[in-house]
Structure 1
Amino acid sequence: MSTFLNQLIYGLADGSILALAALGFVLIYKATGVINFAQGEFLLVGAYTFYTAFVVLQLPLIAAALIGVLVAIVIGVVVERFILRPMVGENPISIIMVTIGLSALLNALVQAFFGTAPKSQPKILPTGSLSLLGASVPINRLLAILIAGIVLTAFTIFFRRSRHGIAMRAVADDQQAAMTMGISVRRIFALAWALAGVSALIAGVLVGDISAVDQNIASFGLLVFPVVILGGLDSVPGTIVGGLVIGLLQQFTGGYLDPGLATVIPYIALVLILLVRPYGIFGETRIERV
């Protein structure tokens, strides 16, 4: 029972962080139609930005977090304005290759400035354990679930209640109709990339605090692809369900079967989902007639 509970908490924590990372991916896809292969590197840059402000510059936690958010917004807006916007109307494969190139560039920049060795950073979340149903559960994992839940709830409220959130949903449904209603599609594109950067920052900081600030954060970000395929490329609720399912699947596979299999099981699930339900659990099914 204690082993099961530990695996459950670890899986929920990883799944919650994955949902945050995948949220940015879905935002960009819904608003702009771009499949962002650099989402894992957004997590990496976010984690190292926070590390720079918190450890190198020795700023207070709140100030470091605010600087991280500001940098994430700037990076998102700059990428959309100067890299993706000139590609509007180009072949989708060309745009995908641009995001792959962006991924390599961001990774190379992080290595150039910080090297490849893991960085030591004071823990933000408490590192103790809590006794729960006879099992010793790490407090930082529980807090990671709580933080991710709060952020995901805040994003959901933003999309459903705020003016800009409704505008983003309108652009996602029909760009031409949104333009006729006076909505600036370009601003919504920039907003989508900025919010994707913020969600990636939070996810990257959580991963760095729970494990370590190193290059593996980008590898963790690659798991957004099984998450969004499972939940649906254009579904925000699907990212939450997909993140939790993939997180639990990986933890239980590693805990009860084989740790090596746990690293590939999300991608096996990805292939199976594509074969059975290509649009994901919550994805919108599109039928094109030619």
Structure 2
Amino acid sequence: MDFFLEVLTGGLLAGVMYSLVAIGFVLIYKASGVFNFAQGAMVLFAALTFVSLWEHGIPFWGAFVMTLLSMLALAWGVERVVLRPLVNRPPITLFMATLGLSYVIEGLAQLLWGSQVHGLELGISDEPLEVGGMLVSQFDLFAAGVAGVLVLILSLLFNKTRIGITLRAVADDQLAALAVGIRLERIWMIVWAVAGFVGLVAGLLWGARLGVQFSLSLVVLKALPVLIIGGFTSVGGAIVGGLIIGASEKLAEIYLGPLIGGGIENWFPYVLALLFLLVRPSGIFGERAIERV
């Protein structure tokens, strides 16, 4: 039983890392109704910018602030060059735009900082820590704490502020929001800027775990099952979906792996997501679409 709880706890904490990436998707989807395929490239760009500045002798917080400013500039550029000309276009058009944007951002990162692999040490030990008789990664505990703070801040932003109310209005009906005087381009820039900040946090944590390399952008693929299970419109759902994916893949690897072969951890989350699509396509916390015909 102790071993089961240890595996479960490790899986839950690892799932938080997936949630950090999924939150960025949720922010964009809530404001524009489009799946932002460029979120993984934003995670890579943020991590590569930070580590490159840090390696050039800029202190940690200085590099963090400069990277955050670069993400804000990136959000402004995306809104002006890509999103503003595509206002009121079909969602598939915006999705294809973000797909192309992901390659542009990756190419820009390579142009600015090169393509070599960087190590990133945040000063947080990944050694196990005994908690209640179980061994838990200190790094995973830190990541869980960071994710909890982000969820709290974003929940307050969406539910308690005027900007949050405006974001929900735009998400419900863009044409109606424009009709009452809401500046759609301003809202999109705010959302992309916040998503850039989330991408920076996720990039630092994932970069410290895997190293800062161009395969880091593929972390978006692991966020897909998280979004399908938790729902595309819920920040809390991204956390819950990440916990479910993290726990299920670890338990499946330990208990089902010896029976059907190793490597189950890589594809089991997608099987679980497929089952959710068959039973509850909108996810646990997603909003069901109701259309009149």
Same fold (TM over 0.5): yes
Tell me, yes or no, if the aligned pair for 2:24 and 2:195 is still in contact at 8 Å.
Answer: yes
Name the residue aligned to 1:159: 158
Structure 2 residue aligned with 1:257: 256
Q: Which moved more, 1:87-96 or 1:228-237?
A: 87-96
Q: Is 1:125 paired with 2:128?
A: no
> Any conservation in 1 of the 2:151–2:236 contact (CA below 8 Å)?
no
Q: Which residue number in structure 2 is paired with residue 282 of structure 1?
A: 285
1:249-288 CA distance string (max 9 Å, x none): 2222233333511111122222221111111111111132
What is the CA–CA distance in structure 1 between the aligned matches of 2:145 and 2:5, rounded to whole Å?
17
Aligned counterparts of 1:58 and 1:13: Cα–Cα separation in 2: 32
Percent identity over the alignment is 41
Unpaired segments ≥5 residues, structure 1:
none
Provide the rounded CA distance (Å) in 2 between the counterparts of 1:94 and 1:174. Answer: 17
The structure-2 alpha-carbon separation of the partners of 1:220 and 1:257, relative to structure 1 and needing over 3 Å to count, comes to farther
Distance 2:9 2:191 in 1: 31
- Tell me, yes or no, if the aligned pair for 1:43 and 1:221 is still in contact at 8 Å: no
Q: Give the TM-score normalised by structure 2.
A: 0.89
1:194 matched to 2:179: no
- Partner residue of 1:59? 58
Q: For the residues of structure 2 that align with 1:286 and 1:171, how far apart are their CA atoms?
A: 16
Distance 1:253 1:73, change over 3 A: farther
1:43 matches 2:46: no
Task: Report if the CA contact (8 A) 2:49-2:113 is conserved.
Answer: no
Structure 2 counterpart of 1:23: 23
| Counterpart-to-counterpart distance in 1, 2:2 and 2:208 | 24
Matched, 1:247 2:246: yes
Cα-to-partner distance string for 1:132-172 (whole Å, 9 max, x where unaligned): 23333221111111111111111111112222122212222
- In structure 2, the partner of 1:185 is 184
CA 1:86–1:246: 2 relative to 1, 3 Å: same
> What code does the residue aligned with 2:185 have?
R
Structure 1 CA distance for aligned equivalents of residues 203 and 46 of structure 2 = 6
Q: CA deviation at 1:112?
A: 4.9
| Deviation of 1:117 (Å) | 4.6
Partner Cα distance (2:103, 2:181) in 1: 37
Say if 2:72 is the partner of 1:69. Answer: no
Once residues 216 and 255 of structure 1 are traced to their aligned partners in structure 2, the CA distance between those partners, rounded to angstroms, is: 26
How far apart, in 2, do the equivalents of 1:255 and 1:112 lie? Answer: 42
1:2: Cα distance to partner?
5.2
Alpha-carbon shift at residue 225 of structure 1 (Å): 1.6
1:171-206 CA distance string (max 9 Å, x none): 222334434554322211111111111111111111
Inter-CA distance 4–75: structure 2 relative to 1 (3 Å threshold): farther
Equivalent residue, structure 1, for 2:221:
222
Q: What is the alpha-carbon root mean square deviation over aligned residues?
A: 2.2
Amino acid at match of 1:42: M
Aligned residue number for residue 170 of structure 2: 171
Secondary structure of residue in 2 paired with 1:223 = helix
Change (3 A) 1:97 1:179: closer
SS in 2 for 1:289: coil
1:113 Cα deviation (Å)?
5.0
Question: Within 2, Cα distance between the matches of 1:227 and 1:244?
Answer: 8
TM-score by length of structure 1 reads 0.90
Deviates more, 1:129-138 or 1:159-168: 129-138
Paired amino acid for 2:19: A
Change (3 A) 1:251 1:110: farther
Distance 1:288 1:37, change over 3 A: same
Quick one: distance in 2 between partners of 1:156 and 1:164? 12
Unaligned runs of 5+ in 2: none
Q: Quick one: distance in 2 between partners of 1:115 and 1:6?
A: 40
Q: Do residues 83 (structure 1) and 82 (structure 2) align?
A: yes
Question: 1: CA distance between counterparts of 2:42 and 2:72?
Answer: 11
Q: 1:109 and 1:177, CA in 2 relative to 1: closer, same or farther beyond 3 A?
A: closer
Alpha-carbon distance in structure 1 between the residues aligned to 2:239 and 2:92: 28
Bigger CA drift: 177-186 or 43-52? Answer: 177-186
Aligned residues: 289
